[in-house]
Structure 1
């Protein structure tokens, strides 16, 4: 498998939506850098991410991180943590988990058409097993 020429990174693909300002971008990108390893398998021009928060700093705050990768279903991670920093970590970790799960589902071991299975050999009954469990002592 060849390496992606222009790999996706948080810095290239993240847009800040409602509730966030541009001056927070560098801090958020730094907090999300652990996602770069997972995103590196996708092209930057085919990957888009958006982070938003509803009711920021309120008791019902909801942080949402959405990720679109061409040819795949949209991935959404949400958090209702009251602390914004904890909520950002929560959505980051959830998105990474969902991307890992999606990749696992596409690996050959989960696709019977891509697996290489050896045909089963003939099974011969053994004398031990044929008479096992049948005792007739009356």
Structure 2
């Protein structure tokens, strides 16, 4: 765990279409991201939220996330309701952060771990320990 864990309140920057007056309710809406972000250092994490055509037909929310040493993650939503769009972008970011974490740290994911490299036969000694001969494979 980081000594200075990232939180939405620390890392969120409001871009086009939002004002500082919107900040508190957006931070509250994104609070569920805090547990996912806490594994990263606040000094190395940035979030930026922007909206085009706010509360109009064709509204588009964009949430960008930069974490040092990782690829930028971008989520968008075209939901017409602003709160629904924010929730959609937030949930998508959480999924993408989880996926990126799993890809980066396969030792913690048994599905990505490979004990014997593909194409490499198990040594005969291990077969003998299992009570098998090479002919029984």
Band the TM-score falls in, shorter-chain normalisation: 0.7 to 0.9
Task: After TM superposition, give the deviation of residue 124 of structure 1 in Å.
Answer: 3.0
- Please name the residue that 1:64 is paired with: 62
- Computing the radius of gyration from Cα coordinates, the structure with the larger value is 1
Corresponding residue for residue 79 of structure 1? 77
Q: Deviations over 1:24-71 (max 9, x none)?
A: 101000010110011001100000000000011111100000000011
> What corresponds to 1:23 in structure 2?
21
TM-score (normalised: structure 2): 0.81
Provide the C-alpha distance between the structure 1 equivalents of 2:25 and 2:105, rounded to a whole number of angstroms: 34
Aligned residues: 122
Aligned to 2:130: none
Could you list the runs of 5+ residues in structure 1 that have no partner in the other structure? 127-138
1:47/1:80 CA distance change after superposition, 3 Å: same
Shift of 1:116: 6.9
Structure 1 equivalent of residue 6 of structure 2: 8
From the superposition, tell whether residues 5 and 109 of structure 1 become closer, same or farther in structure 2 (CA, over 3 Å). Answer: closer
Which residue in the other structure is 1:106 paired with? 104
What TM-score do you get using the length of structure 1 for normalisation? Answer: 0.81
Distance 2:100 2:65 in 1: 13
Q: Does 1:124 align with 2:122?
A: no
